Structure 1
């Protein structure tokens, strides 16, 4: 591979119909840091190898005509130097010396007329160190495990705010944009229209911001929220509710028990203490398994009622239906791969 001034002639992929691997010549120019998989199906990545922007890699082929993964050679990769990388991560070129063409993206979202602001929602919050045990190659996880996101070990992080019932998503979103909504392609999605203040707050409260999670959450869930203020209101409301949780006994419970086992009953009791008796019964606890350890990964809060900048979180929760506890016991994972 060789470093280049970012200019190259893009080779249009005019492949004939085929069902199997298609050999290609030339180079793959990475436009961003993306995972380089040993197995694209299992998404295994020995060494947590990432492509480097503005680097040319020898290209070997594409998984099939119109496929979604290039096979490239990463000279210093452990286990195998042949790696799979998403086609959305960069471009295939014949000559690594001239001009690039940016991908064309459908930027249109047609607002659904007459939609009423969602009053039935799930607020989903993550414990980021647990998530990063499973996806250590993601940019936000590399940052976290390198000690660059210390605040994520002191608070729950935003996953999303999901209008209910389940399946109420992609409102007014074209099929072409929906087809782009895959983790490796989130940077290609239309950007949510949010102001600088909201973007700065999200970058701190949603570590997945580094992987364009906020693009995905807006496209899939936010478009069905129907707040008058669009994406900015959707994320301001999410930030407001998340702040209430983190500034309460619930946030204290997580922060004070890093590295310890915590029961679902303890988490629910913390909600009862902070937001009123019965709110804990509206909290679903999600866990993940990591090498035999059970890690508390997320908490899901059921909410009913319109969310405003002065909403009482306890009232919103008590208006919702009770839910099962889910995970009954798990570890509050510390930062770093365990």
Structure 2
């Protein structure tokens, strides 16, 4: 797969009158597949042209100061090669360097692929999105959730991450220049994981934080230490597979059927035992948080040992892991919206 490491230089925008087209130098780096419109107002797209994730396009400008569409050069596009792309689709950089995926060039801004065997000691962390959004209502995914645009997040647990263990097994082959960017406000500037369109589509639904580039952070911090032969695509495919198993089980039913009610940690562990075999519940840590008046269940952490494949038995993986303390004893399954 091809992927792109962006080297950011200089500031993004220069102040100009708000009503004028703003000419920009450099490149537009797309983070996902987006429509490239001939007319942004009518949203016409001759040739059905779209951006490719992790690729750079010559930047032409911004529709206005503080605007919401970049104009970029799309070679071979019919009617006009100057196309409008939503500013939410990527970022403007002054300089960019592209290379083909592999072991890396060893440069100070490259993530260097590590050699070794795939991680067989992992922690799957799943979130209850409404509880998360009680404390971060300004994040895009939380605004969408509270506006009723993400109804599926009240029917299933959402992906936080898949974390190779032990807990300090992080940032494998990641240079300091990239680690320094690993903060929520600059996750969009982290190198994007090289995943195919099918995986990206599934991840956007299963990981609401995708809208805030959580998938960049999880790959850089944890995924680089997973060491699967399929790279980021395998890492996220395995995460999606395990998450679906949980959501399709009695565990998923327990959360869905008790929105707004209080359940116990023992209830959650019993649901794991029912679905995945006796003893699996003893490998689940339950995390809660308080809003001052209520205790909310916000995450569950599943310990697993063994190689993860698309045919793995989750029960076997969990029973091979060490038992853990329950953590939170009881809490509310939060409803959508600020309570």
Task: Tell me which residue corresponds to 1:230.
Answer: 231
CA root-mean-square deviation: 2.2
Task: Tell me which residue corresponds to 2:73.
Answer: none
Task: Tell me which residue corresponds to 1:135.
Answer: 136
Structure 2 SS opposite 1:180: coil
TM-score w.r.t. the length of structure 1 is 0.72
Supply the distance in 2 between the matched residues of 1:225 and 1:101 (Cα, whole angstroms): 30
Matches within 5 A, 1:49-60: 55-56=65-66
Supply the distance in 1 between the matched residues of 2:158 and 2:25 (Cα, whole angstroms): 41
Kindly state the Cα deviation for residue 56 of structure 1 after the two structures are TM-superposed. Answer: 4.4
Kindly state the Cα deviation for residue 149 of structure 1 after the two structures are TM-superposed. Answer: 0.3
Supply the distance in 1 between the matched residues of 2:95 and 2:256 (Cα, whole angstroms): 42
The question of whether the paired residues in 2 share the 8 Å contact of 1:107 and 1:190 is answered with no
Unaligned runs of 5+ in 1: 11-52, 58-89, 92-99
Residues 34-79 of structure 1 deviation map (CA, whole Å, 9 limit, x = unaligned): xxxxxxxxxxxxxxxxxxx96549xxxxxxxxxxxxxxxxxxxxxx
Matches within 5 A, 1:221-300: 221-300=222-301
Task: Tell me which residue corresponds to 1:303.
Answer: 304
Residues 162-215 of structure 1 deviation map (CA, whole Å, 9 limit, x = unaligned): 000011000000110011000000000001000000000000000000000000
Residues 279-312 of structure 1 deviation map (CA, whole Å, 9 limit, x = unaligned): 0000000011113211000000000000000000
1:329 matches 2:330: yes
TM-score w.r.t. the length of structure 2 is 0.72
Change (3 A) 1:172 1:256: same
Structure 2 SS opposite 1:299: strand
State how many pairs are aligned. 255
Task: Tell me which residue corresponds to 2:114.
Answer: 112
Unaligned runs of 5+ in 2: 1-16, 27-62, 68-89, 98-107
Supply the distance in 1 between the matched residues of 2:207 and 2:314 (Cα, whole angstroms): 20
1:121 matches 2:137: no
Task: Tell me which residue corresponds to 1:212.
Answer: 213
- Tell me which stretches of 4 or more aligned residues in structure 1 moved more than 3 Å: 1-4, 6-10, 53-57, 100-107
Matches within 5 A, 1:19-98: 55-56=65-66
Kindly state the Cα deviation for residue 155 of structure 1 after the two structures are TM-superposed. Answer: 0.1
1:185 matches 2:182: no
1:7 matches 2:23: yes
Supply the distance in 2 between the matched residues of 1:165 and 1:261 (Cα, whole angstroms): 32
Structure 1 SS opposite 2:298: strand
The question of whether the paired residues in 1 share the 8 Å contact of 2:109 and 2:177 is answered with no
Kindly state the Cα deviation for residue 7 of structure 1 after the two structures are TM-superposed. Answer: 3.3
Kindly state the Cα deviation for residue 108 of structure 1 after the two structures are TM-superposed. Answer: 1.6
